[in-house]
Amino acid sequence: MKHKIYPFLASILFLFNALGAAAGEPVIPTEVSEPPYSVGDLVMEQGYYIDRGEGETRINLRFFENRLRLYWIDENGLIAEPESSEATVRFLGTIGTQQRYNLLVSLPEGAGLGAPGLVPPPHIFNLILHIPASGERGELTHNIRYIAALNEPVDPTQGE
């Protein structure tokens, strides 16, 4: 009888360990969210991404309804908490007849930063993104060549 109890107890312990490991893993959504986004949403891959290295969020600059949006994307492709409450985008050259600066401020949903002004297509620019220092993060300044092809969404749930 003792020999039958040991395998039974071992299998129960194995199941508890498996359930504990599964509970600690983040739940990754399988459906792509539609704007306006919230923290934790899975989004279409679109726009310009700044990769900051292993273990860091990627910064995503994109256009939504001809307005600039800035999001922080985690390693699972989900919207992460913004690491700054403001940023500045400076368009190099002119758009129409004026030089443009856009101040990006927190979106009402709290998932990223956005600019209220419209930027008419075609979205082909050289621009500079500047995110000031906040907390333990230093400032970030990045030159970007944004082309119209970056506006095409790619579904991250589809295989390559």
CA distance 156 to 107: 24
- CB contact burial 95-108 (16+ within 10 A = b; e otherwise): eeeeebebebeebe
Indicate whether 89 belongs to any domain.
Answer: yes
CA distance 89 to 95: 13
CATH number assigned to the domain comprising residue 90: 2.60.40
Task: List the beta strands (DSSP E) in 10-124.
Answer: 48-50, 58-64, 67-73, 79-80, 86-91, 101-106, 112-114
Indicate whether 108 belongs to any domain.
Answer: yes
What local confidence, expressed as pLDDT, does residue 38 receive?
A: 95
Indicate whether 99 belongs to any domain.
Answer: yes
The domain total for the chain is 1
CA distance 108 to 127: 25
Indicate whether 109 belongs to any domain.
Answer: yes
User: Which residues does 27 contact at the CB level (< 8 Å), separation at least 6?
Assistant: none
Q: If pLDDT is split at 50, 70 and 90, which confidence band does 134 have?
A: confident
Does 117 have pLDDT greater than 90? no
Put simply, whether the predicted model's pTM sits higher than 0.85 gets the answer no
Structure-block tokens of residue 1:
């009888």
Indicate whether 2 belongs to any domain.
Answer: no
Does 16 have pLDDT greater than 80? no
Q: Would the CA dihedral through 45, 126, 137, 106 be positive or negative?
A: negative
Of 19-28, 41-50, 58-67, 85-94, minimum mean pLDDT range: 19-28
Tell me the residue type at 94: T
Range of the domain at 116: 48-151
Indicate whether 128 belongs to any domain.
Answer: yes
Q: What is the DSSP letter of 158?
A: S
Indicate whether 24 belongs to any domain.
Answer: no
What local confidence, expressed as pLDDT, does residue 21 receive?
A: 45
Mean pLDDT of the chain: 85
Q: Would the CA dihedral through 83, 53, 153, 94 be positive or negative?
A: positive
Indicate whether 56 belongs to any domain.
Answer: yes
